[in-house]
Chain A
Amino acid sequence: MQLFLFQVLNGLGIGMIYFLLSVGLTLIFGLMRFVNFAHGAFYLVAAYLAFAIVGLTGSMVLALVIAPLAVAILAVATERLLLRHTYRMPHEAQILITFAIALLIQEVVIMQFGPLGQNVPVPQALSGVVFLGPFVYPAYRLAVVAVAAVVAVVLWIVVEKTKLGAVLRAGSESAEMVALLGINVDRVFMATFALGGALAGLAGVLAAPLRGVEPFMSAEALGIAFVVVVVGGLGTLSGALVGGLLIGLVQSIMSTLWPQGAHLMIYAAMALVILARPTGLLGRT
């Protein structure tokens, strides 16, 4: 029972990172109906930037500021240079071009940092443990949960309470209508890509000390992000949160019961949700 509760706690921690990883993907899809296969590559770039920054300066805080910003710039550059030319093309073209961009980014990362995995040290101040009742929990993981929770609240306020959020929500209903109302949809698209990229970047930086960095973490992350957004409901903020926590929990609990089956289960869950409830557990029908 103790062990089980500990795995639940652990699962929530993983789940919050999954939420950060997926929420950008879902925002971009919600607004633009655009499936970004390069999302995992954004996460990868941020993780490696964190590795480089922590290696040079020893400061995780600096990494948390610079890496998401840099990835946001990368996301906007990709959107302006390449992706916007595909908005009028079929879904397939968008999937293929973002897939190719992800491949290119992965290769560039290997050119810079080599093909082998590296470790990123947990920041000194958070390297200890925290006692939560009967549990001993790493302080860093707790900090990650806190950061992700703050991001979730801020995002919720932005989407539900601000003008930008109103535009985002309206845009996901009908981007054309929003454009007719005199709003520069082009700029909104750009901003969404920047935000989505920054969020993936944040997830990458936070995950780096937990799992280290390696060039192929982007493919794994993309798979997880797809599962999360599909299970929660493609295009919804709450779906990313619930989906992230659910998948984090399932993975954590399964890892003690049947480790080889953990991945099998989450992809089976994804297929089941698509077939039984394509709008996701929280999506509107």
Chain B
Amino acid sequence: MDTPRFPNVTTLIVAAAMIVLPFVVPATLASQIAIFATAALSVTLLLGGAGLLSFGQGLYLGIGAYASGLLLRDAGFALLPTLLVATAGTAAVAAVLGAVMVRRQGIYFVMLTLAFAQMGYFAMLAAKDVTGGENGLSGLPRRFDLFGATIASPLSFYVLSAGVFGLAFLAVQRLLASPFGSVLTAIRENEGRSEAMGYNVRLYKIAVIAVAGGIAGLAGSLHAVFLGFVPPTDVDLEVGQRMLVMSIIGGVGSPGGALVGSAFYTLVSEALSELWARWMALIALVLIALVLFLPGGLWSAGRHLTGLLRRRDADG
């Protein structure tokens, strides 16, 4: 876990990485990394912050994406209100579902996240008059105005995505460093004791589920804006699993892990998809190895390395 301070070294590293990113990879790819880093951040906050494992965060990404698609296309919303309304709306849905889900713990909680995610997917298919069913939602605008600037080029989309990720990242860091974050840590480490100390555990869980849902919704909103289209795969169970895989690979011990995980996953898939269509096998192997040998994910590997270096400095 990050030392609960804010801002800290992690903030600097992530900020530097976001600035360097568009210079080392194409802007479109960089945007994808930023968008999915935002999505993975949602899982990182839930699992790393409160110890809540969710296979269903894709549901909130999907809700954010579809809501934004409808707002932009049919309600004529501008970019900023769309992002805000999608985020707040998704957070509200997550709060309602969260209020139901926190009644169960452990494996039953995981099953509930799966059940709701599946229901969301099949509801999307059933309501195909609104959602476009398996065809998705198309015909979104391709250029936006934000604070007087025009967002249409790949680089401008990256600036938008990176800005949104940066804000979400700072919010999560700030949240984890706050007293609220300390209570979440207490719940993660020992739920029964936190309850006994008088904290309303369920309420804290609902709050973190709502925030995490809002962040996933924001990522979904951004994804719709970025693609100009809402693919039905955005509310698939698979997208929730991808978010989980990214955040596990990066490591849930720090919000920085979300960026590392998203970058790793996106770059591996981009680099290998031409050469080897089954690159997912590699991701699976990495995941198995991490669970067994490095539960803190890649972010913690960096931490171990700097720890080793520091020790060597002290010795020498």
* Contact indicator B291/A97 (Cβ below 8 Å): yes
Q: Is B108 close to A, CB under 8 A?
A: yes
Q: Is A285 close to B, CB under 8 A?
A: no
Q: Is A79 close to B, CB under 8 A?
A: no
A96 to B291: give the CA distance in the assembly, Å.
Answer: 7
A117 to chain B, nearest CB (A): 17
* Contact indicator A101/B104 (Cβ below 8 Å): no
Interface on chain B toward A: helix, strand, loop, or mixed SS?
Answer: helix
Nearest opposing residue in chain B for A234, CB measure: B107
Q: Is A260 close to B, CB under 8 A?
A: yes
The verdict on A97 contacting B115 (CB below 8 Å), with A104-B281, A107-B278, A263-B122 known, is: no
Question: A86 to chain B: which residues have CB within 8 Å?
Answer: 291-292
A263 to B117: give the CA distance in the assembly, Å.
Answer: 12
The verdict on A270 contacting B248 (CB below 8 Å), with A263-B122, A275-B100 known, is: no
Count of CB-CB pairs between chains A and B under 8 Å: 103
Contact with B along A74-114 (1 / 0, CB 8 A): 00000000100110010111011101110110111011000
Interface residues of A in 233-285 (CB under 8 A from B): 234, 260-261, 263-264, 267-268, 270-271, 274-275, 278
The verdict on A107 contacting B281 (CB below 8 Å), with A95-B53, A226-B111, A274-B104 known, is: yes
Question: A275 to chain B: which residues have CB within 8 Å?
Answer: 100, 103-104, 112
A227 to B118: give the CA distance in the assembly, Å.
Answer: 11
Q: Is B63 close to A, CB under 8 A?
A: no
Q: Is A123 close to B, CB under 8 A?
A: no
Q: Which of A35, A227, A274 has the most CB of B within 10 A?
A: A274
* Contact indicator B106/A91 (Cβ below 8 Å): yes
A85 to B291: give the CA distance in the assembly, Å.
Answer: 10
A178 to B112: give the CA distance in the assembly, Å.
Answer: 32
Q: Is B301 close to A, CB under 8 A?
A: no
A48 to chain B, nearest CB (A): 15
The verdict on A104 contacting B115 (CB below 8 Å), with A92-B47, A260-B125 known, is: no
Chain A interface, number of residues (Cβ within 8 angstroms): 38
* Contact indicator A268/B237 (Cβ below 8 Å): no
Chain B interface, number of residues (Cβ within 8 angstroms): 37
Contact with A along B84-108 (1 / 0, CB 8 A): 0000000000000000100110111
Q: Which of B18-26, B69-77, B222-230, B282-290 contacts A (4 or more CB under 8 A)?
A: B282-290
* Contact indicator A93/B104 (Cβ below 8 Å): no
B122 to chain A, nearest CB (A): 4
A-B contact pairs, 24 of them (CB 8 A): A35-B110, A82-B288, A82-B292, A85-B292, A91-B53, A95-B107, A96-B287, A97-B287, A97-B288, A103-B281, A104-B285, A104-B288, A106-B280, A107-B284, A219-B238, A263-B122, A267-B115, A267-B119, A268-B115, A268-B119, A270-B111, A271-B119, A275-B104, A275-B112
B interface with A by C-beta (< 8 Å): 47, 51, 53, 100, 103-104, 106-108, 110-112, 114-116, 118-119, 122-123, 125-126, 237-238, 241, 244, 248, 278, 280-281, 283-285, 287-288, 291-292, 295
Known: A264-B123, A275-B100. 18 other contacts (CB 8 A): A86-B292, A92-B47, A93-B291, A95-B107, A97-B287, A99-B241, A107-B278, A108-B281, A111-B281, A226-B111, A226-B114, A230-B108, A267-B115, A267-B116, A267-B118, A270-B115, A271-B115, A278-B108
